[in-house]
Amino acid sequence: PRALDARTGEVRRQPDAPAATALTAAAGMVLLTGSDGTVTAVDGGSGKTAWSRSFPGHRAPVLVSFAGESAVYTVSASADGSRTRITAVDPASGEVRWDATLDGTMRPAGASDGALYLASVDGVYSETRAVVRYSPADGTSRRVALPVALQQAHGTAYKDVVYLTGGGGSLVAVDVRARRQLWSLETSVVRTSAPVTDGRRVYVSAPDGRLLAVDARSGRLLGQTPPRLGAGGVAADLPEPVLAGGRVHAAAPDGTVFAVDARDPSAW
C-alpha cells in the first residue's frame, strides 16, 4: 500500500508491508491479509507495523469495517455451508473482541449499536434470503426473511434498519426489530455500489458515475447526479459513497472524485 497526500495526491510514504490478497482500513490502520492467512496491521500515520497474527477458524480472513463501528469483522462459512464463524477484532491491537458460530452461510451486511447484521445466503444460488441480527452482548440472533431473494446483496445498517442492494438494481429496507420489510425500490440501475446511510437518506453509486439519493423512510428517489462516463464506459468497480462534512463524496468512471451537498439531492 501507499499513503498519499489528500491535497496533492503525492506519495507520502510506502510502508514495507507484505503482499496482500485483501486490504481494508479502520481506526487509522491498514489491515493486510497475506496469502498464508496472516493479517498484518500497518499504522496509517507512521507506516510501522502495529501487529501481525492469524485468526483460528479463518483460512483467508477478509476483514470488513463499517462506518461508526470500532471493530472489524471476519466471517468464514464451512465447506458445506451449514455454519459460519464470525470473529470481531480490535483493529488497533489485533485482539479478538468476540467470536461466534451461527447456522447457515452468512455475509456481513452492517453493524450498528453493538449488533452485527448479516445477510443469510442460500448455499446453492448464493441469493440473500434473510437478514440476521446478532447481538454479542447476550449471544442472541433474530432472523427476518425477505419477500424476494436478492442476488449479490450488499448492505449497511442504521439502528435496527438494514438497507440492502441487489444485483438487479433493487434497494430494500428491512426493520429487524419489527421483523418486516419496510419498502423496496427498483432503481433502474443494473448494478449499484454498497449503500451508505445517515438515517435520513440512503446513497448508492451507479456504474455510469451517477450518485443516487433515496429517502430512508419511504424509499422514494430524491435525486441523482448526471452520468460521468469515462473513455472506457461504465465502471467495473463501484466504491461506496462517503459521507463527510455535510457532503456526499463519490467516484466516477471518468476518473473524477466529486462531492455534492447532502441537504438537497433534488438540486443535484
Spatial CB neighbours of 131, under 8 Å, sequence gap ≥ 6: 109, 117, 118, 119, 120, 143, 144, 146, 155, 162, 164, 174, 176
Whose CA is closest to 239, among 228, 254, 249, 224?
A: 249
At residue 213, φ and ψ (nearest 5 deg) are: -120, 130
* Adjacent-strand bridge partners of 182: none
Q: What is the pLDDT of residue 17?
A: 62
The cell for 194 is: 454498497
Question: Are both 1-99 and 187-268 of the same fold?
Answer: yes
Every domain of the chain and the residues it spans:
1-99, 187-268
Whose CA is closest to 196, among 209, 183, 205?
A: 205
Look at the pTM and tell me if it is higher than 0.85.
yes
Query: In which residue ranges of the chain is pLDDT below 50?
Result: none
Q: What is the pLDDT of residue 230?
A: 73
**Cα 75 to Cα 87: distance, rounded to the nearest angstrom:** 7
> What are the pLDDT digits (tens) for 181-199?
999 999 989 889 999 999 9
- Residue 39 sits at the vertex; the CA angle it makes with 38 and 42, to the nearest 5 degrees, is 135
At residue 228, φ and ψ (nearest 5 deg) are: -130, 70
CATH of 1-99, one of 3.40.50.970, 2.60.40.10, 2.40.10.340, 2.40.10.480: 2.40.10.480
Sheet holding 196-197, edge to edge: 196-197, 201-205, 211-215, 221-224
Q: What is the pLDDT of residue 233?
A: 63
**Cα 108 to Cα 93: distance, rounded to the nearest angstrom:** 22
**Cα 227 to Cα 37: distance, rounded to the nearest angstrom:** 40
The answer to whether residues 45 and 14 touch, using CB atoms and an 8 Å cutoff, is no
Torsion of CA 112, 69, 117, 59, to 10 degrees: -170
Q: What is the pLDDT of residue 206?
A: 95
**Cα 144 to Cα 54: distance, rounded to the nearest angstrom:** 33
**Residues 187-268, CATH architecture:** Beta Barrel (2.40)
> What are the pLDDT digits (tens) for 159-181?
999 999 998 899 999 999 999 99
**DSSP per-residue letters across 133-158:** EEETTTTEEEEEEEEEEEES-EEEEE
Q: DSSP character for 171?
A: E
Q: What is the pLDDT of residue 7?
A: 62
**Cα 147 to Cα 24: distance, rounded to the nearest angstrom:** 32
